[in-house]
Amino acid sequence: MNEQKSEDKSIFGFWVYLMTDLILFAALFAAFATLRNSNFGGPTASQLLDVNNALAETLILLTSSFTCGLALLAAERNNRGWTIGWLGATFALGGAFLTLELAEFSKFLAQGASWQTSGFLSSFFTLVGTHGLHISIGLLWIVVALFQIGFRGLSPFVVSKLKRFALFWHFLDIVWIFIFTIVYLMSHV
């Protein structure tokens, strides 16, 4: 019973952390909304942003959320092989997402569109880059989880950590849906 109370407190504490992260992203969205038309002669959002690339990123990240859910289901059923496999798939998809995001950043920088070019680009790089940083943290978390599964198996401790990881990963998907909608889709309206 004490183990369950401890896990409940950990999950609640993690929800509190996610809400503070939500506040961070809300502030970044507010800054972007304020600065999105402040291009100061530099490229505008509609000139720079590629909706098709962002759609590919969205589909990849949503698929990774599905594989993450399957990994958690496998862990709860104490199926070590499937847990590792689905976590590996989540890692690969998250890595693909991050690769596309970094390629987009590199393309912008090669065109001379950096975070120093305009208020729009400063807010864009900050918002999308913060999300990318969170994805990177999630990828590191997967690597640590795979080592824990390898050394400890699917103990209640490890499964509890996987539950928190799944919350984190799904949260990042929700944030990305807002980024895709507000940053990419609305830039072409």
Rounded mean pLDDT, 47-76: 97
pTM for this model (two decimals): 0.92
Rounded mean pLDDT, 82-110: 97
Answer yes or no: is 13 within a domain.
no
The total number of structural domains in the chain stands at 1
Predicted confidence at residue 15, as pLDDT, reads: 93
Rounded mean pLDDT, 180-186: 95
Of residues 44 and 24, the one with the higher pLDDT is 24
Answer yes or no: is 43 within a domain.
no
We report the CATH number of the domain holding residue 152 as 1.20.120.80
Predicted confidence at residue 188, as pLDDT, reads: 77
Answer yes or no: is 11 within a domain.
no
Distance CA 62, CA 69 (A): 11
- Ramachandran sector of residue 5 (left: φ over 0; alpha: ψ -120 to 50; beta: rest): alpha
Answer yes or no: is 151 within a domain.
yes
Answer yes or no: is 67 within a domain.
yes
Answer yes or no: is 24 within a domain.
no
Question: pLDDT tens digits for 115-173?
Answer: 999 999 999 999 999 999 999 999 999 999 999 999 999 999 999 999 999 999 999 99
CA proximity to 77, closest of 15, 159, 152, 9: 159
Query: In a 10 Å sphere around its CB, with 0-12 CB exposed, 13-18 middle and 19+ buried, how is residue 169 labelled?
Result: buried
Summary mean pLDDT of the chain: 94
Cα-based distances in Å from 96 to 42, 45, 109, 135 = 29, 23, 20, 11
Domain with 85, as residue range(s), is 51-188
Answer yes or no: is 37 within a domain.
no
Answer yes or no: is 1 within a domain.
no
